[in-house]
């Protein structure tokens, strides 16, 4: 079974004083009228997976908000691969809890109750959750996204890496050439100018 979100706990976020949502494997659909709190749950998940948060989301009267997202159904080696050499999981553990506190001016991050840099939380969150919001389809208009999709469809990852490597080598050579005096036309133009100045001086 693929890794999936099994629980989302929210405390003092926006209008929610406390909420614990348990999710089963497979598809879960949340429905409700406008203002029912669906977007708040998406914001909570974004916060727990390392997204940007606003201190204004803290519930009025509370000092801080907290979000915990629990992901399960991963093999122990998958957790280890995700965490690398970092001591954030017990041997063989197949659950990850991503946590975020939200307060004025700070938003500490934790993985399995251990403090981590926000960049690491975002890296792990990116590997576990993909959130699409309204207007996300506008990304398809970006040339870089179109290239990514086309290469993925054509399974061109290896060729793309080789091309990127060769493009890097070419860029380095061009920088080296520029450091040696620019392109041949510019050198010829400069030589003509200096020759003219020599004649004027003579």
127 or 91: which leads in pLDDT? 127
Average pLDDT over residues 40-57: 85
| pLDDT for 137 | 62
Alpha-carbon distance 160 to 194, whole Å? 45
**Is residue 199 very low, low, confident or very high in pLDDT (cuts 50, 70, 90)?**
very high
**Is residue 85 very low, low, confident or very high in pLDDT (cuts 50, 70, 90)?**
low
Alpha-carbon distance 114 to 46, whole Å? 19
Average pLDDT over the chain, rounded to whole?
Answer: 81
DSSP string spanning 135-200?
Answer: TGGGGGGSHHHHHHHHHHHTT-HHHHHHHHHHHHHHHHHHHHHHHTT--HHHHHHHHHHHHHHHHH
For residue 163 the two structure tokens come to: 């091309």
Contact 40, 8 (CB under 8 A): no
| 91-125 residue pLDDT tens | 456 788 999 988 877 778 898 888 888 888 888 88
For residue 133 the two structure tokens come to: 């919001």
pLDDT > 60? residue 76: no
**Is residue 8 very low, low, confident or very high in pLDDT (cuts 50, 70, 90)?**
very high
**Is residue 185 very low, low, confident or very high in pLDDT (cuts 50, 70, 90)?**
confident
Instruction: Give every CB contact of residue 156 below 8 A, 6+ residues apart in sequence.
Output: 150
pTM over 0.75: no
**Is residue 194 very low, low, confident or very high in pLDDT (cuts 50, 70, 90)?**
very high
Query: For the chain, what percent of residues have pLDDT higher than 70?
Result: 84
| pLDDT for 58 | 86
91 or 7: which leads in pLDDT? 7
């Amino acid at each position: 079974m693929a890794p999936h979100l099994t629980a989302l706990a929210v405390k003092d976020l926006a209008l929610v004083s406390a909420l614990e949502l348990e999710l089963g494997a497979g598809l879960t659909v949340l429905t409700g009228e406008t203002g029912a709190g669906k977007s708040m749950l998406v914001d909570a998940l974004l916060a727990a997976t390392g997204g940007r948060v606003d201190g204004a989301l803290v519930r009025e009267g509370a000092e801080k908000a907290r979000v915990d997202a629990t992901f399960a159904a991963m093999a122990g080696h998958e957790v280890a691969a995700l965490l690398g050499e970092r001591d954030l999981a017990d041997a063989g553990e197949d659950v990850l809890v991503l946590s975020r506190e939200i307060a004025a001016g700070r938003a500490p991050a934790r993985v399995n109750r251990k403090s981590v840099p926000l960049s690491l939380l975002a890296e792990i969150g990116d590997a576990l959750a993909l959130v699409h919001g309204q207007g996300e389809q506008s990304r398809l208009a970006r040339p870089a996204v179109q290239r990514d999709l086309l290469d993925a469809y054509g399974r061109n990852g290896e060729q793309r890496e080789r091309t990127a490597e060769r493009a890097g080598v070419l860029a380095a050579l061009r920088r080296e050439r520029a450091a040696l005096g620019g392109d041949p036309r510019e050198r010829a133009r400069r030589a003509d100018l200096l020759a003219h100045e020599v004649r004027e001086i003579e």
